[in-house]
Structure 1
Amino acid sequence: MVVVRTALAVAALAALMLPAQAEDRSVLMNCKAMVERASRDASAASEAELTRCRQVIREWALRDARTTVDEEGKPLR
């Protein structure tokens, strides 16, 4: 019983970690466009899609705030 419970906990943790991979910038651009469309048209996207896109935008904002170089390796400041 303990082994099954541990295996389920490990599987659930692994499933949660899969979507935590870094998104590329095209995903960010698509999400920004989707949120913009949703602000004009309430039926443009589902609430789950909007929530995911808002999370992607937040993650990119945090990532960009910590970055000292751009995508080509040139200093930002």
Structure 2
Amino acid sequence: MVLRTALVVAALAAITFAARAEDRSVLLNCKAMVERASKNTGTATEAELTRCRQVIREWALRDARTTVDEQGRPLK
């Protein structure tokens, strides 16, 4: 019973950590990586590029839904 509870807690923790949003520095790093990869082939693996493209897409969707900036001021 204790083992099963521990497994459930571990699974929920893993899901929670995977679902948390990246900060804007991750977005900036991914944009830079994709830019470098478009100029030079072989600078990043396909898995890294796929993940970065996903991060960029998620940020674009998040920014489209946002009505305030990072300081909480309304967007113009």
Give the TM-score taking structure 1 as reference length: 0.77
Q: Which amino acid aligns with 1:41?
A: N
Q: What is the identity, as a one-letter code, of the residue corresponding to 2:75?
A: L
- Runs (5+) with no aligned partner, structure 1: 1-6
5 Å-filtered alignment, 1:8-19, equals 11=11, 15=14, 18-19=17-18
Q: How many residues align?
A: 70
Computed over aligned residues only, the root mean square deviation of the Cα atoms, in angstroms, reads 1.9
1:1-77 to 2 correspondences below 5 Å:
11=11, 15=14, 18-77=17-76
Q: Deviations over 1:41-77 (max 9, x none)?
A: 1101000000000000000000000000000111112
Gaps of 5+ in 2: 1-6
Q: CA offset at residue 18 of structure 1?
A: 3.3
Structure 1: distance between partners of 2:15 and 2:46: 20
**Counterpart of 1:46 in structure 2: which amino acid?**
T
| % same residue | 76
Deviations 1:5-44 (A, max 9, x none): xx7xxx4x86455322100000000000000000001101
